[in-house]
Amino acid sequence: MTLAQAVDARLRKGIGRGEFFAVIWPARGQEAVAAGLSAALRPDDRLVTTYRGIHDLVSKGVPLTEVIGEILGKSIGASRGKGGTMHITAPDQGVALTTGIVGAGVPVAVGLALAAKQQGSDRVAAVTFGDGATNTGSFHEGMNLASTWQLPVVFVCQNNLWAEMTPTHETMNIEQVVDRRLAYAMPGERVDGNDPEAVHTAVAAAVDRGRTGGGPTFIEAVTFRFEGHYFGDPQQYLPADELAAAKEADPIPRYRQRLLGAGLLSEAELTAIEDDATARVDAALAEVLAAPAPELAELEQDFFADMEGIPS
C-alpha cells in the first residue's frame, strides 16, 4: 500500500511541477483493495486491471521501472513505451491486460480463466474494475459466461462511489453493486475496501473456490477516489464534506495505526517501510528519466507473434 501510494504521489508531484509529462488516473485512496487482492494471488495467477491501476500493478509485483517507464512513455516501460498508463501488460507478473475501455477487461479475464480450465491448470484470473463498469454490457456478458461455465474468475469491483463526474447512485437503481451477482447465481460479498485484511479474506476465499473447481466469485470493495477522475481534475462536482469524510477512512494511516496498536510493527519499522518506498520510487524514476524514448522501429514490434507471416 505504501509503495503504491509512493508511486502515485511521485507521479503527481512530477506532472504537477512540469518535471515530466504523463496522464494518470490516480488510485490514491484505493490501495487497500489492490494490496488485499494481490496478497491472495499466486504469482502465476492472472490479473486484469484498468487505467486506474497503479496500485494493482505495484501490488502484483510489476517492477517500478516498468510501471513508471510505461506511464512516461519510455522504452524500458512494460509495453516498451508504446502504450502509456492505459496499456500496461506484464506477463512475467501475470498482468495480462490494462485497459482504458470501461468494462472491457471483464470478458478478457473470463477468457483467461477458460484457458486455465482447458489447460488443466489451477490458475485463477482476477479482474478489477470500477462501479461504473458494472453498467456495461461486457460486464454482464462476462459474469454470465463465467457463471454458466463455472470458470475460476475473481471479479473485484473497486467501488469508489464515482464514475468520472457522476455519483454511482445516479446510474443504478440498486443500493449495492454486489447484488448484481444474484442475476448470475454467483457467490460473493461486499467488503470494506479500505481494510486490506477484509479484502484479503474475501479474495482468499474466492481464489480457493476458483482453484478447486467452485467457479467464480464477485467481490464489491467499497472505497473512495481521493484525487478526482484524472490527475488535474478540479473535482468541482464533488461535495467537500464527502471528500473530507472519505479521507477520514484513508486506508493507509488507518492500517498504520492498526499495526502500531496491535504491536505488530513499531514506529521505526513503519517509518523504515515508508522511507524504503520513497527511495525505491526515486531510484526507479531516475532510471526511467535517463532511459530513451522508443525507437521508431519499435512501432512494428510485439503486435503479432510472427510479423513475417502477416501479409503486407
Ligand X SMILES: Cc1ncc(C[n+]2csc(CCOP(=O)(O)OP(=O)(O)O)c2C)c(N)n1
Q: How far is the CB of 272 from ligand X (least distance, A)?
A: 31
d(CA 108, CA 129): 12
Query: Given candidates 11, 78, 102, 145, which one binds ligand X under the rule CB under 6 A?
Result: 102
Burial of 141 (0-12, 13-18, 19+ CB in 10 A): middle
Question: What's the min distance (Å) between Cβ of 160 and Mg ion?
Answer: 4
Residue 102 binding partner per list ligand X, Mg ion, none, with a CB distance cut-off of 5 to 8 Å that depends on partner kind: ligand X
User: CB nearest Mg ion: which residue?
Assistant: 130
**Is the separation of the CB atoms in 92 and 28 below 8 Å?**
no
Nearer to ligand X by Cβ, of 34 and 281: the residue is 34
* Cβ atoms of residues 55 and 31 within 8 Å: yes
55 binds ligand X (CB under 6 A): no
Nearer to ligand X, 67 or 163 (CB): 163
Interface residues toward Mg ion, by CB under 5 A = 130-131, 160, 163
The 216-235 site mask, x for binding ligand X (CB under 6 A), equals: ---------x---x------
Q: Based on the shown chain and the rule CB under 6 A, indicate whether residue 132 belongs to the binding site for ligand X.
A: yes
Cross-strand bridge partners of residue 125: 46, 153
Among 62, 145, 163, 206, binds ligand X (CB under 6 A): 163
One residue of 19, 44, 92, 164 binding ligand X per CB under 6 A: 164
* Residue length of the chain: 312
CB of 307 to Mg ion, least distance (A): 38
Classify 293 as helix, strand or coil.
coil
Residue 288 beta carbon to ligand X: minimum distance, rounded to whole angstroms: 24
CB 251 within 8 A of CB 194: yes
Our finding on whether 133 is near ligand X (CB under 6 A) is: yes
Which positions ≥6 away from 296 have C-beta within 8 Å?
none
255 scored as a contact of ligand X (CB under 6 A)? no
**Phi/psi of residue 154, nearest 5 degrees:** -110, 110
In the complex, which residue's CB is closest to ligand X?
A: 130
First to last CA, the chain: 47
Nearest distance from C-beta of residue 79 to Mg ion, angstroms: 24
Residue from 48, 62, 156, 162 binding ligand X (CB under 6 A): 162
DSSP 295: P
Q: How far is the CB of 302 from ligand X (least distance, A)?
A: 23
Which residue intervals of the chain are DSSP H helices? 2-16, 31-39, 54-59, 64-71, 105-118, 137-148, 196-211, 240-248, 251-261, 267-290
Element (DSSP H or E) covering residue 166: strand 166-167
CB of 204 to ligand X, least distance (A): 23
When binding is defined by CB under 6 A, the residue of 10, 28, 46, 52 that contacts ligand X is 52
Distance CA 71, CA 86 (A): 8
478447486: which residue's cell? Answer: 212
Beta bridge partners of 156: 128, 219
Which positions lie near ligand X, rule CB under 6 A?
Answer: 52, 100-103, 129-133, 160, 162-164, 225, 229
